[in-house]
Structure 1
Amino acid sequence: MAAVVFWGNLLSQIGIILSGAAVRLTASGLGCSTWPNCKPGQFTPELTMASGIHPFVEFGNRMLTGVLSVFAIALLLVTWRWLRHKGLGFRRLAWVPLIGTALQAMIGAFVVWLDLHPGLVSPHFLISPLLGAVSMVLLVRLYDGDGRMRLAVPARAMGVFVPLAVVGFVVLVLGTIVTGTGPHSGDSGDVTRIALNPMIAARMHALAVYAFCALLAVLLLVLHRARARREAVVAAWWLVVLTLAQGVIGYIQYYLGLPELVVFLHMIGAALFAASIAWVGARLVTWQEADTGADPDHGDAPLAHDSTEAR
């Protein structure tokens, strides 16, 4: 049961990014003109010739928030009821998907009330990849041991990963800025856009991606030279594959003038990007009991004191 809940939570966190992308790319952002009702005095949408499918696309995204909330609540219940042995830190982290989902719902209301202002649309998106990253850490933690958290790779690998994760988040932020300057405003009406040259925004985004790729190459070099644990190396290589695929799709959408389908594929990559970075980070540490005869330089240096808080 626990595996179903944890996997369901991760997939729903990724899924709502894709449903949000569908809302934006079909210009359905104001298909429901108010919140929480779809229309004044009307909770659910109605099919009309004037509005078409737009209210249903937007309302479907809202309903997926309900599904996500169910998984977040179930995650919390399972963690605090049946997984208490994994430590207080794990149980506290399990609160994040539910709190983040509630925050998303509140921001979503203001996004509608303020007619898709980009100053709110970008944060509304960025919370979801962060929740996906937390959900990935929880999933990895579920299958790992019950001991105190400790490094599973040389400390220098973690020294590379931290700036890698920071630059990865910068890539996502700049990606939202690129979108905010482009043609996909989320609605067919007159919607405020970010006052920045789209080409300049795209180049800033590309530079951040290049920096990320350089750090990822360094991380792989460190992991391979240290003969680090297989789980960390596999996760890092999957991140390489995903990053390269994202780069190819990004250039295709740029040179084709941002067609909706290609942009949607790029959004799928963005949804997986943050989760994959978190997967790598979670594999650089372990909660398995330490081998007393292991060499600390190969990943057995403790990260925290042996206490309930550290677990």
Structure 2
Amino acid sequence: MPSPTPAAPVSPPSSPPTTSWRERLTPRVTRVLATANLVCQIGIILTGGVVRLTGSGLGCSTWPQCEPGEFSPVLHPEATYHPFVEFGNRTLTGVLLVVALLLAAAVWNAPALRTRSRSLRLLALTPLLGVLAQALIGGITVLLHLHPGVVGFHFLVSAVLVWASTVLVVRLREGDDAPEPVLIPSGTSGRWLRAVPAVFAVLTLAVVVLGILTTGSGPHSGDDEVGYRFALDPVVLAKAHAWTVWLFVAALVATLVVVTRAVAGGRTDNAAPDPGSALDTARARALRQWWVLLAVTLLQGAIGYAQYFTGLPVPLVALHLLGSALLVSATTFAVLALRVRS
């Protein structure tokens, strides 16, 4: 009787290949981190505004500690809410620092981004370096007892970080080729579109700076003991701020008219518009971004007038501060939508 054939040895199941943390940094993960950073940069302006509006700028008497020998507020029967408001803003700064650090690590280590331009990778360091600088400026603000110049500069740096974070979100969605305009109208319309980036850079800066001076001259300058920080007439500044906003609106409406007509006109090479093409998709996106900017601007203007004629209630002022950050971001998205990188 033949002996049975021995069974073939069974090999153990192979374990799935492991992936490193760098390989998990897909472009999608990086874009999510960039969006989270932008949201946090806008949110820190709101929480910083709450610190100012509640007069909690000196809730923590020193920096980096809250009180000498204590990094957090000390709870005692005489304690007010001011130290906790200020400490909460400092805590959110720590969260923003972690997000900015993760974003920088992702952009510099993601395999899909290693071939991207050096300018993009350096841009990814801006939020991280900016948060570190803001922590230092915030400390100087406390040590100088809310000096109005330092407080205003603190907000201005936050606005710049919102702009840089918005640019980074856009750059991660596109390639590194030279930017090409998505709309090429001729004549006056073409000259206007070429001037749009410079025009809105100047107008946005003017709106933000005049807003800083107006707030620093009014009752919500950040200190309960001093009704103002800048010895300037808040009424005159508020009117100058409003006129600058109206110039911004006029430029915005002019741009929206040009963009709408250019999109409706289709291609410049006499080819029929193709809604599915990348160029026509970019044109539709540009038009949508400018409509969004118009909506944000009108809402921000309505809040500004409402707070002025109702005696500057704290909730409306806080919404106006949030709107200023949204306006900077929406303006950046709209201007960058006028060009595309392959």
Partner of residue 204, structure 2: 168
Q: How does 1:227-238 map to 2 (within 5 A)?
A: 227=263, 229-238=283-292
Q: Structure 1 residues 115-124 or 190-199, which shifts more?
A: 190-199
Check conservation: 1:13, 1:128, Cα contact below 8 A: yes
Q: How does 1:11-30 map to 2 (within 5 A)?
A: 11-30=39-58
Q: Cα deviation per residue 1:226-264 (whole Å; 9 max; x = unaligned)?
A: 218111111111010000001111000000110001111
Q: 1:158 to 1:86 in 2, by over 3 A?
A: farther
Q: Cα deviation per residue 1:133-165 (whole Å; 9 max; x = unaligned)?
A: 111111122222343333223363131232122
Check conservation: 1:158, 1:284, Cα contact below 8 A: no
Root mean square deviation of aligned Cα: 1.5
The letter of the residue matching 1:186 is G
Q: Distance in 1 between matches of 2:181 and 2:109?
A: 28
Structure of larger gyration radius: 2
Of residues 251, 260, 274 in structure 1, which corresponds to 2:328? Answer: 274
Of residues 201, 208, 218 in structure 2, which corresponds to 1:182? Answer: 218
Q: How does 1:4-83 map to 2 (within 5 A)?
A: 4-82=32-110, 83=113
Q: Distance in 1 between matches of 2:288 and 2:115?
A: 28
Q: 1:175 to 1:169 in 2, by over 3 A?
A: same
The letter of the residue matching 1:38 is C
Check conservation: 1:29, 1:58, Cα contact below 8 A: yes
Instruction: Give the SS at the match of 2:263.
Output: coil
Instruction: Give the SS at the match of 1:219.
Output: helix
Check conservation: 2:196, 2:335, Cα contact below 8 A: no
The letter of the residue matching 1:120 is V
Q: How does 1:289-300 map to 2 (within 5 A)?
A: none
Q: Distance in 1 between matches of 2:224 and 2:77?
A: 16
Partner of residue 22, structure 2: none
Q: Cα deviation per residue 1:41-83 (whole Å; 9 max; x = unaligned)?
A: 1111123343311101101111111111111111111111112
Check conservation: 1:181, 1:198, Cα contact below 8 A: yes
Name the TM-score, length of structure 1 as normaliser. Answer: 0.88
Partner of residue 138, structure 2: 108
Of residues 145, 155, 159 in structure 2, which corresponds to 1:125? Answer: 155
Check conservation: 1:32, 1:39, Cα contact below 8 A: yes
Check conservation: 1:160, 1:218, Cα contact below 8 A: no
Query: How many angstroms does 1:213 deviate by?
Result: 0.8
Percent identical: 47
Instruction: Give the SS at the match of 2:115.
Output: helix
Q: Distance in 2 between matches of 1:74 and 1:261?
A: 33
Structure with the bigger percentage of helix: 1
Instruction: Give the SS at the match of 1:139.
Output: helix
Partner of residue 86, structure 1: 116
What is the total number of aligned residue pairs between the two structures? 288
Identify unmatched segments of 5+ residues in structure 1: 289-311
Q: Distance in 2 between matches of 1:46 and 1:64?
A: 19
Check conservation: 2:37, 2:100, Cα contact below 8 A: yes
Q: Cα deviation per residue 1:114-146 (whole Å; 9 max; x = unaligned)?
A: 111111100100111211111111112222234
Asked which structure has the greater RCO (Cα within 8 Å, sep 6+), the reply is 1
Of residues 215, 221, 234 in structure 1, which corresponds to 2:251? Answer: 215
1:257 corresponds to 2:311: yes
Q: Structure 1 residues 267-276 or 80-89, which shifts more?
A: 80-89
Check conservation: 2:49, 2:318, Cα contact below 8 A: yes
Q: Distance in 2 between matches of 1:49 and 1:198?
A: 38
Identify unmatched segments of 5+ residues in structure 2: 1-28, 185-189, 265-282
